[in-house]
Amino acid sequence: MRHRATVAFGVPAPRVRTPRKLETMKTKMTTSLLLGSALLLTGCAQSTDASSQSPAASSSAEQKSTQAQGLTTSDTWAKAAESGMSAAFGTLHNTSDIPLELHRVTNAQGDEIQLHEMTGSGQNMSMKELEGDLVISPGADVELAPGGNHLMFMDLKKPLVAAQTATLTLEFSDGSSTNVDFAIRNFDGAKENYDEHAGH
Ligand SMILES: [Cu+2]
């Protein structure tokens, strides 16, 4: 009888274990749910409330929040050149309600393309690489023009031929990017001094 009693006494033990197993399962489920939210969030750095939204809602919020999608352009053109330096111009519009931070410009042939600004005045104007990103405020335009901010080809690997098109990839600080076509045309201006080391 004592032996049976001991066995009976042991019964509660599995009962204790069962809830523990459930706890473990709950923990695992919570962890995977959190991981799921984290994955959604990494694709949507701008949206801080994605975790409170359904996956469908947060993916549409994600699409709206890319900087590249806020950009439209007009009058984009590039100066024809055989080799060496050249520049690209146009107006960049921010149609979104977040700042657009143009971080990098690239093209298919791997030219080095810098964001340049003009400094000084009159005869002493020279250009230099912009420090940091080119920021376009919500709803604002930034004009890239000879004598002002511009995109600078530092050493063309292929000629920019008049009447052809140069496609540049504009990459923003959130990692989003968009391709913009620049109509190549002959232009006699935009021969600004390049103030590379401010020594010449
Ligand atoms: Cu320049």
Ligand 1 centroid from CA 66, angstroms:
28
User: For residues 135 and 100, is the Cβ–Cβ distance under 8 A?
Assistant: yes
- Per-residue pLDDT tens over the stretch 74-111: 999 999 999 999 999 999 999 999 999 999 999 999 99
Ligand 1 centroid from CA 122, angstroms:
16
Asked if residue 11 has pLDDT above 70, the reply is no
Q: CA angle 52-56-59, nearest 5°?
A: 85
**From the CB of residue 135, how many other CB atoms can be counted at a distance below 10 Å?**
14
| Per-residue pLDDT, 151 | 98
Ligand 1 centroid from CA 115, angstroms:
7
Ligand 1 centroid from CA 176, angstroms:
24
36 band by pLDDT with thresholds 50, 70 and 90: very low
Domain residue extents for the chain: 2-64, 68-194
| Per-residue pLDDT, 22 | 47
- Token digits of residue 189: 């201006």
27 band by pLDDT with thresholds 50, 70 and 90: very low
Measuring CA to CA, how many Å separate 78 from each of 25, 72, 142?
A: 61, 17, 16
Ligand 1 centroid from CA 100, angstroms:
21
| Per-residue pLDDT, 192 | 65
User: For residues 87 and 151, is the Cβ–Cβ distance under 8 A?
Assistant: yes
Asked if residue 17 has pLDDT above 90, the reply is no
CATH class of the structural domain 68-194: mainly beta
Average pLDDT, the chain: 77
32-61: average pLDDT: 44
SS3 (DSSP) at 189: coil
- Per-residue pLDDT tens over the stretch 115-155: 999 988 888 889 999 999 999 999 999 999 999 999 999 99
Asked if residue 33 has pLDDT above 70, the reply is no
State how far the Cα of 189 lies from the Cα of 79, in Å rounded to an integer: 9
| Per-residue pLDDT, 188 | 86
User: What count of Cα atoms within 13 Å lies in the side-chain half-sphere of residue 167?
Assistant: 5
State how far the Cα of 126 lies from the Cα of 178, in Å rounded to an integer: 29
| Per-residue pLDDT, 64 | 58
190 band by pLDDT with thresholds 50, 70 and 90: low
User: What count of Cα atoms within 13 Å lies in the side-chain half-sphere of residue 3?
Assistant: 0
User: What count of Cα atoms within 13 Å lies in the side-chain half-sphere of residue 188?
Assistant: 0
Ligand 1 centroid from CA 139, angstroms:
26
- Alpha helices (H) in 43-167, listed in sequence order: 55-64
- Token digits of residue 25: 């399962």
Ligand 1 centroid from CA 152, angstroms:
5
HEC string of 98-119 equals CCEEEEEEEECCCCCEEEEEEE
State how far the Cα of 98 lies from the Cα of 65, in Å rounded to an integer: 8
| Per-residue pLDDT, 92 | 98
